[in-house]
Every structure is written in structure tokens, then in C-alpha cells.
């Protein structure tokens, strides 16, 4: 069946989209029970939502997503170095911030609007194939309210998928259209908008869009033995790639300037299997999820969110049937094209699929292949629309309905309504956790906001607060009863205070090492000298045995907490007067100590070097690839004389070539070890690079995907 290029008549396309908006909004309101929600409280208030709220707060405060000045004190949070880069989504939130400065309200509104927009765009894309308008309304609503959308919700606004249907529809056109079919101006403009939006947002949808465009071009070329139809994929792949590259520029610039931040090498090729797609989950009813959780299946993680629901799962199964068992004369059928793309997507994304090979041979960054489901869901929706449209035509052609228009319309409407309700009830079960947790989340948010408000009102001189305990970033997995990104909570509600979380730069890492820990007698004095005049204690971050000792130490040095939250989880201590032992108050002046702590030279690791590890003998080391670079930075306004030193370990028989602006030397590693030390002069406000090139054998490491040739042992930078 050739690809139809005309639409079934409807009174008004604008009326159709209006009905789509109303239907999707009504379903969202019912599933989420939005009349219970205060839009100033996030729908989900834990984990990744906290990070998204922090970005929304930065946008609402007049900043942007690349740099958050009120986080990561005393230096600020270079968010561009953690390349989520949701530029397009953030632009929409920037518009929303004109009407409200509440980050929770901005996040909630953005997510709700994205769901409604997804249904409109899906409706537009499905109407390109002349499906029944009633069927299109049904399927577009179910597509916009996938369990994937409801379960990820505001916690993953980077994974909204409003413009995915436009790309998917074009992939189907490439395979199914004839040589004479051409894009009109409206369709071409919509494709360009979709490509630009995908390119300027989180990389997953852009990556999968390019994958399916390439697949569509390849399939079209093979079955038609003509590359002309496939050429329509090339310009749109180019647009996505160009804008994705533009979107990555801020991250690339900060990486080249400051090095890739600590702990960023947390992705590995094996995670393609860990976060891969599971067919059982794709086709299982959503309501079966709780039973599956109890069964204890392995590798159950975010891939649980890929369930299509009972209606779209039928489309998924049918698409595979059409791809495998449709006779060659029917290969212009849109259902066959959708089935082929569903199969290719499944082959790539499933656990142990082709995506694992891509990650092993090319790059591990696209690790959560389950996120391809929004593309597979649209292709499944197309097959379902085609089937339902055929069924409705068959029903209406029955002799009993020929003279009874009301009966024909009633039968069609009844069938569509039953299917829609069955799908909505099943998929709507994915919204149950959001509704269930709202009361607890609301109480927690109000309690935290109340404490932050009290701190800012009663202690207006407090401008910078240090948070205990220290937690890593990324990935912040929480600590004891603390959950991921919990230290970002007070920032969400603050107005004029800077917070120490997260530590996300080598400069910040070096500063933390210099000021010490709470067990050091000079720690609190060092905080004071670094500009901190408040301390925030999250008691959930400590075990029951450690917490009394921590609080006793704080009380001895700075007195009891000035404020506590209603739940007693948080405590605020005033540091407006210099605390600490006599030792902390001796020596250099407060000003000198602050300059020493904040502006001291520090080491950064630009490329080719893995994150820090601890050896059995207590030494710290970092594995290096064959070529690596170290940054020696001087943030102060004066020239600093320093000495860089490190030990090196490798397999016997190697040599290490070290290059710098005024340095060119070799370190002999014939014995497998060697030491190096060099005095350097670091100009003010500049960074010096040292390049290390190893000549020798690679270190074998079974089960370790890293490429390792030698390691730096205790690399240090000391002022002379």
C-alpha cells in the first residue's frame, strides 16, 4: 500500500488540535489529581528532581544552566562541565520564569506543557498518514502519556520527547513514499524545527533520531535500489549534528580550560547492558510492574519505565509481525516500514544488543539504551492506527450500518472509547507513585523552605553556608539516610545565600584538601577564613553512632545550633564569629589565610587520566592512557613559584616523555618506576599544561575496559 499523502477530512485542523489539547489536559488532571497539588511544590521531590530544580532556580534568578554562582561555594558551580545541556528546554523555562520565580512551579509547568505539546505533535505526525481522526486523538493521547513520561516526570525533564514524532514520521516517509512524493513547505519547516530542538537538548533523543534516519535511508536504498529517497535524510541528520555540536561547545570550552572535572569517568561500556531494553518490560501491562518487582529479575533499573501499556504494546507486537511476515509486494505499506524500524531499534537497544558493541568500540556515553522507547512507541502507534482505521472502516461497511448512520457512529465511537479507556487505565497506573507521595513530599518541602526562610530572615548577614556531610558529585548517591542530591534542597528555596554543594572542580577539590575535615582543629577556622559564615548540618547524612560525636564537636567549637527544622533533620549553626581552637587563630592573618586557601595553585587533569584511586599502602594514584595532560593553574593575581612532583609506575621497559611550554624531558621507566620533580613559575590568572607521552606496553587488565599504560603516584603541586 503506497504511503497516503492526503488526510481524512475534518471540519477544522485547528479544532482537531484544540480537542487534542483538551483531551490530554483532562487525562493529565485526572491521572495526577492536579486539584490536590500546589504547583509551587514539585510533583516529585527527590533524586534527580533536585538537580533539575537547581537549574530551574538558576534560570529563574536571572542566570543560566551553564554556571550557577550560588552553588559550589566558594567558587561557584560550573554546570556546563556536567554536560546535560538542555538548552532548548531551558529556553522554554526561561520564558516561564517571566511569570513565576518559583523553580518548582517552573518545572511542573514545563513538564505538563511538554506532555500536551507531545500529544499535539504526535497528532500532527499521525495525520500525515490519513488515519482516522478519532483514532489519532486516541493514540496521540496515549503516546503523550506513556508510562515513560509519567514515571520520569519532573525528575528527568531532559528526556521529554515532544518533537520525536516528527523525526519518526519522516523516517517512515523515507521508506514508504514513492519517488514523486515530496515534502511540502510546512512539513519541511516542522522537520527543521524538530531537528534544531533535538540538537539543542539532551543528547539521547538526538542520537536515536540520527540512528533511525540512517536506518530509514539504508532500508529505502536496499528495497528500492535507488538512493534518491534516502537522500532526504542527510540534511536533517546534518542539522541535528550541527546543533548538537553547538550545544556541546560550553562543555568543551570548560573542559579544555579547566580539565574534565573529578569523578566524570563513571560511564563504562558494560552499562549498555545494565541499562538496556527488556522486551518483557516493553509488552507487559503497567499494572504487572509491582509483581515483576517482587519476582527479583536481574538488571532491573530505569529500564522498568519502558512499558508501553496494553494498547501500544499490541502495536509493538503487530509491527514485528508485519516486518517478519509481510510479503514483498506489500513492502511499501507503512506498517512494514514501522515494523522494520521497531526491529532495528530493538536489536540495538536490548540487553546484549548492538548498542553494547557501539559502546565497546566507539564511546560509552550513550549507555541507557532503554530510552529509545519513545521512538519505538511512535512506530508502534503508527501500526496500531493503521489497524484501528481498517477495523473501523470494516465495521462501517457492514450492511447493518449502511442505512443507520447513528448506529455506525455509535459502534465506532464505542470501540474507540473502550480501547482508549483500557489503555489509559493501564498507563495511568504509572502515575500512582506521584500521587501517593505528594503529601510526604509537600510536607518535606514546606519544612525545608520554612527553615531556609528563617535563616535568611534572622541572620541577614549570612551569605555563604557550608554543608555537612560532604557528598560527592557526580554521582551523588546519597549517604546513610540522605538521598541523591539532597544537599541541593536548601538552595532551591533560598534567595540570597550561597551553598557549598557540589564540589565539582579540581580547584574546589584542592581547596577541600587544604581546609581539612571536621576532625581537624583548624577546619571551622578555615571555613571562616574562606568566607563561610554559616553551617548546615543534615543529620540524615550520619549514622546513629557517628552523629552524637559530630554534634558534640560542633557544640564545643561554635555552640548549639541557632535553628532546627521541624523534623529535626537539619540544624543551622552561626559562623559569623571566628570559631576554632587557639591553634586556628594563630599564624597568618585572616585575610592572608583566606587568600592562601582560595587562590592557591592547584592541579587539574585535562585528558587521558582516570579518576583518583587509593592504593593498599595509602598512596593515591591515577591511571593514564598513552598520552595525557595535566593542568597547573594559578587563579591568583600574582605570579606563583611552585614545584610539581609525581612518581610513575608502569610495566618494565618504558619511557615517559614530558613536554611543557619550557620543558622537554624523559623519565626512564626501565625498572617499572621512576620519580619526577620540576620547579615552575605560574603566571597570574593562567594555566600551564604538561603533556605526558608514554613509550611502552599497555598494562593488561582483565575485566577492565580502561586503556592504561602508566600511573601517576601522589601527584602534588607545592608552592616554593
Contact (CB, 8 A) for 354 and 348 = yes
Contact (CB, 8 A) for 142 and 312 = yes
Q: Which pLDDT does position 6 carry in this prediction?
A: 41
Q: Sheet containing 534-538: which strands, arranged edge to edge? A: 498-499, 464-468, 534-538, 570-574, 563-564
For residues 248 and 307, state if they share a domain. no
Q: What is the CATH number of the domain that holds 699?
A: 2.60.120.260
Contact (CB, 8 A) for 595 and 250 = no
Q: For residue 584, is pLDDT > 70?
A: no
Contact (CB, 8 A) for 428 and 145 = yes
Closest CA to 143 of 380, 324, 340, 442: 380
Distances (CA, A) of 281 to 286, 306, 353, 434, 654: 9, 6, 16, 20, 51
In sequence order, the β-bridge partners of residue 650 are: 710
For residues 174 and 311, state if they share a domain. no
Q: Which domain holds residue 189?
A: 167-259
Cα gap 641→667, rounded to integer Å:
23
For residues 297 and 248, state if they share a domain. no
For residues 354 and 274, state if they share a domain. yes
Q: For residue 4, is pLDDT > 60?
A: no
Residue 476 lies in a domain: yes
Residue 530 lies in a domain: yes
Mean pLDDT of 668-693: 93
Total domain count, the chain: 4
Q: Is the peptide bond before 162 cis (omega within 30 degrees of 0)?
A: no
Distances (CA, A) of 523 to 209, 213, 356, 453: 51, 56, 46, 27
For residues 273 and 382, state if they share a domain. yes
Residue 337 lies in a domain: yes
Residue 157 lies in a domain: no
Closest CA to 314 of 341, 333, 342: 342
Residue 259 CB-density burial (10 A; 0-12 exposed, 13-18 middle, 19+ buried)? buried
Q: Which pLDDT does position 84 carry in this prediction?
A: 86
In sequence order, the β-bridge partners of residue 694 are: 656
Residue 119 lies in a domain: no
Within 10 angstroms of residue 98's Cβ, the number of other Cβ atoms is 8
Contact (CB, 8 A) for 612 and 623 = no
Cα gap 51→154, rounded to integer Å:
10
Contact (CB, 8 A) for 718 and 643 = yes
Cα gap 556→565, rounded to integer Å:
21
Please identify, among 229, 259, 289, the residue that sits at the C-terminal boundary of a domain: 259
Work out the percent of the chain whose per-residue pLDDT is above 70: 92
In sequence order, the β-bridge partners of residue 395 are: none
* Lowest mean pLDDT, pick from 47-61, 396-410, 668-682: 396-410
Please identify, among 396, 416, 441, the residue that sits at the C-terminal boundary of a domain: 396
Please identify, among 259, 292, 319, the residue that sits at the C-terminal boundary of a domain: 259
CA-based radius of gyration for the chain: 29
Cα gap 447→576, rounded to integer Å:
24
For residues 455 and 593, state if they share a domain. yes
pTM for the model stands at: 0.91
In sequence order, the β-bridge partners of residue 221 are: none
For residues 592 and 459, state if they share a domain. yes
For residues 232 and 284, state if they share a domain. no
For residues 361 and 223, state if they share a domain. no
Mean pLDDT of all residues belonging to the chain = 88
What are the backbone angles phi and psi of residue 321, rounded to the nearest 5°? -60, -50
Q: For residue 373, is pLDDT > 80?
A: yes
Q: Using one digit for the tens of pLDDT, what is the confidence trace for 229-259?
A: 678 899 999 999 999 999 999 999 998 888 8
Q: Using one digit for the tens of pLDDT, what is the confidence trace for 27-42?
A: 999 999 988 889 999 9
Residue 57 lies in a domain: no
Residue 395: which H helix or E strand, with range?
A: helix 373-396
Cα gap 634→391, rounded to integer Å:
72
Q: Using one digit for the tens of pLDDT, what is the confidence trace for 608-658?
A: 998 888 877 778 899 999 999 999 999 988 999 999 999 999 999 999 999
Residue 24 lies in a domain: no
Cα gap 448→454, rounded to integer Å:
10
* Lowest mean pLDDT, pick from 45-49, 131-135, 382-386, 592-596: 592-596
Q: Which pLDDT does position 327 carry in this prediction?
A: 66
Mean pLDDT of 67-78: 94
For residues 223 and 322, state if they share a domain. no
**How far from the centroid of its chain's Cα atoms is residue 280's Cα?**
25
The vertex-577 CA angle with 572 and 581, nearest 5°, equals 95
Q: Using one digit for the tens of pLDDT, what is the confidence trace for 309-347?
A: 999 999 999 999 999 887 655 555 889 999 999 999 999
For residues 455 and 587, state if they share a domain. yes
For residues 299 and 253, state if they share a domain. no
Residue 698 lies in a domain: yes
Helix (H, G, I), strand (E, B) or coil at 131: coil
Amino acid at each position: 500500500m503506497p504511503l497516503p499523502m492526503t488526510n481524512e477530512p475534518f471540519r477544522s485542523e485547528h479544532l482537531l488540535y484544540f480537542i487534542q489539547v483538551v483531551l490530554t489536559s483532562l487525562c493529565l488532571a485526572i491521572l495526577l489529581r492536579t486539584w490536590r497539588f500546589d504547583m509551587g511544590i514539585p510533583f516529585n521531590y527527590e533524586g534527580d528532581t533536585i538537580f533539575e530544580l537547581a537549574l530551574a532556580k538558576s534560570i529563574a534568578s536571572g542566570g543560566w544552566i551553564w554556571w550557577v554562582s550560588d552553588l559550589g561555594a566558594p567558587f561557584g558551580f560550573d554546570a556546563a562541565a556536567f554536560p546535560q545541556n538542555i538548552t532548548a528546554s531551558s529556553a522554554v523555562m526561561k520564558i516561564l520564569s517571566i511569570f513565576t520565580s518559583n523553580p518548582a512551579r517552573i518545572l511542573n509547568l514545563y513538564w505538563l506543557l511538554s506532555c500536551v505539546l507531545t500529544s499535539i505533535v504526535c497528532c500532527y505526525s499521525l495525520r500525515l498518514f490519513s488515519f482516522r481522526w478519532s483514532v489519532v486523538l486516541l493514540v496521540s493521547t496515549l503516546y503523550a502519556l506513556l508510562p515513560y513520561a509519567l514515571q520520569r516526570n519532573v525528575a528527568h525533564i531532559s528526556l521529554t520527547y515532544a518533537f520525536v514524532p516528527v523525526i519518526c514520521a519522516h523516517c517512515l516517509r523515507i521508506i514508504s513514499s514513492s519517488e514523486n512524493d515530496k515534502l511540502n513547505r510546512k512539513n519541511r519547516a516542522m522537520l527543521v524545527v524538530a531537528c534544531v530542538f533535538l540538537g539543542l537538548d539532551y543528547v539521547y533523543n538526538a542520537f536515536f533520531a540520527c540512528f533511525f534516519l540512517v536506518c530509514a535511508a539504508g532500508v529505502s536504498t536496499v528495497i528500492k535500489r535507488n538512493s534518491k529517497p534516502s537522500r532526504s535524510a542527510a540534511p536533517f541528520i546534518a542539522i541535528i549534528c550541527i546543533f548538537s555540536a553547538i550545544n556541546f561547545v560550553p562543555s568543551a570550552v570548560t573542559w579544555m580550560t579547566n580539565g574534565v572535572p573529578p569523578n566524570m569517568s563513571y560511564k563504562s561500556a558494560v552499562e549498555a547492558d545494565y541499562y538496556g531494553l527488556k522486551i518483557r518490560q516493553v509488552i507487559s501491562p503497567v499494572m504487572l510492574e509491582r509483581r515483576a518487582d517482587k519476582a527479583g529479575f536481574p538488571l532491573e533499573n530505569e529500564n522498568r519505565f519502558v512499558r508501553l501499556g496494553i494498547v501500544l504494546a499490541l502495536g509493538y507486537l503487530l509491527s514485528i509481525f508485519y516486518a517478519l511476515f509481510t510479503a514483498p509486494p506489500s513492502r511499501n505499506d507503512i506498517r512494514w516500514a514501522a515494523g522494520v524500524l521497531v526491529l532495528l531499534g530493538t536489536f540495538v537497544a536490548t540487553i546484549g544488543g548492538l548498542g553494547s558493541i557501539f559502546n565497546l568500540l566507539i564511546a560509552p556515553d550513550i549507555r541507557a539504551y532503554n530510552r529509545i522507547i519513545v521512538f519505538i512507541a511512535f512506530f508502534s502507534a503508527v501500526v496500531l492506527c493503521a489497524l484501528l482505521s481498517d477495523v473501523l472502516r470494516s465495521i462501517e461497511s457492514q450492511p447493518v450500518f449502511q442505512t443507520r448512520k447513528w448506529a455506525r457512529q455509535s459502534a465506532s465511537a464505542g470501540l474507540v472509547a473502550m480501547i482508549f479507556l483500557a489503555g489509559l487505565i493501564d498507563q495511568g497506573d504509572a502515575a500512582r507513585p506521584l500521587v501517593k507521595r505528594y503529601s510526604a513530599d509537600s510536607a518535606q518541602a514546606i519544612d525545608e523552605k520554612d527553615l531556609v526562610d528563617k535563616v535568611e530572615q534572622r541572620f541577614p548577614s549570612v551569605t555563604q553556608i557550608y554543608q555537612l556531610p560532604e557528598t560527592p558529585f557526580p554521582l551523588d548517591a546519597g549517604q546513610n539516610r540522605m538521598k541523591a542530591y539532597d544537599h541541593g534542597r536548601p538552595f532551591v528555596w533560598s534567595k540570597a545565600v550561597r551553598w557549598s554543594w557540589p564540589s565539582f572542580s579540581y580547584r574546589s577539590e584542592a581547596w577541600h584538601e587544604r581546609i581539612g575535615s571536621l576532625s581537624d582543629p583548624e577546619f571551622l577556622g578555615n571555613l571562616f577564613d574562606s568566607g563561610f559564615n554559616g553551617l548546615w548540618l543534615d543529620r540524615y547524612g550520619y549514622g546513629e553512632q557517628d552523629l552524637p560525636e559530630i554534634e558534640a564537636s560542633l557544640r564545643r567549637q561554635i555552640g548549639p545550633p541557632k535553628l532546627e527544622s521541624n523534623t529535626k533533620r537539619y540544624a543551622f549553626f552561626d559562623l559569623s564569629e571566628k570559631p576554632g581552637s587557639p591553634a586556628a587563630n594563630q599564624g597568618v592573618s585572616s585575610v592572608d589565610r583566606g587568600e592562601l586557601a582560595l587562590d592557591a595553585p592547584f592541579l587539574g587533569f585535562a585528558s587521558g587520566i582516570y579518576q583518583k584511586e587509593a592504593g593498599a599502602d595509602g598512596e593515591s594514584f591515577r591511571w593514564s592512557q598513552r598520552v595525557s595532560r595535566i593542568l597547573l593553574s594559578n587563579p591568583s593575581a600574582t605570579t606563583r613559584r611552585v614545584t610539581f612532583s609525581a612518581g610513575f609506575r608502569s610495566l618494565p621497559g618504558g619511557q615517559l616523555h614530558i613536554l611543557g611550554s619550557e620543558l622537554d624531558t624523559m623519565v626512564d621507566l626501565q625498572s617499572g618506576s621512576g620519580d619526577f620533580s620540576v620547579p615552575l613559575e605560574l603566571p597570574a590568572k593562567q594555566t600551564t599544561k604538561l603533556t605526558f607521552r608514554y613509550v611502552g606496553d599497555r598494562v593488561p587488565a582483565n575485566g577492565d575496559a580502561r586503556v592504561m599504560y602508566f600511573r601517576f603516584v601522589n601527584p602534588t603541586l607545592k608552592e616554593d
